[in-house]
Amino acid sequence: MLKQVSIYAENTKGKMLEITSILAKENINILGSVTNDSAEYGIVRMVVSDPNKAVEVLKNAGIICKLTDVIGVEVKDEVGNLNRLLEALNNSNINVNYLYLSYNRESGCPIMIMHTGDAKEVENSLRSKGFSLC
């Protein structure tokens, strides 16, 4: 199971730069990210090299954030592999709240980062179906 940093940020000029500057200064690598915005605030979701330290330094800078459990599933870069993953989840009656892409720096394979209801149960289900988890 992976830990994701969920950051609640004002939708203002320079806010993303502030966040990435804090992480860079602390030598924290962003491994995958997705941003959802609204008129005033956005949610930045990131998988980073040191999630606990990231939350600590961001909170110390006055940025609202928290850790969330997510699942990382390695999928080969081939047509239909995401579809096969989603079919397996659907067949197990598992809902995916959101997902985004990262990649395995060692193998070069894409990694689908996803948030579901019960991460531990979903991990067990995916492993039993032959999927490779991070």
Contact 122, 75 (CB under 8 A): no
For 28-40, how does the pLDDT look when each residue is reduced to its tens digit (9 = 90+)?
Answer: 999 999 988 777 7
> What is the percentage of the chain residues whose pLDDT exceeds 90?
74
At residue 1, the pLDDT reads 84
For the chain, the domains span 2-68, 70-133
At residue 108, the pLDDT reads 80
For 38-86, how does the pLDDT look when each residue is reduced to its tens digit (9 = 90+)?
Answer: 777 889 999 999 999 999 999 999 999 999 999 999 998 889 999 999 9
Mean pLDDT of 12-19: 92
- Please state, in angstroms and as integers, the Cα–Cα distance from residue 119 to each residue in 1, 70, 72, 124, following that order: 7, 7, 10, 9
Residue linked to tokens 């602390």: 26
pLDDT of 104 higher than 90: no
**The domains spanning 2-68 and 70-133 adopt the same CATH topology:** yes
Fold of 70-133: VC0802-like (3.30.2130)
**The architecture CATH gives domain 2-68:** 2-Layer Sandwich (3.30)
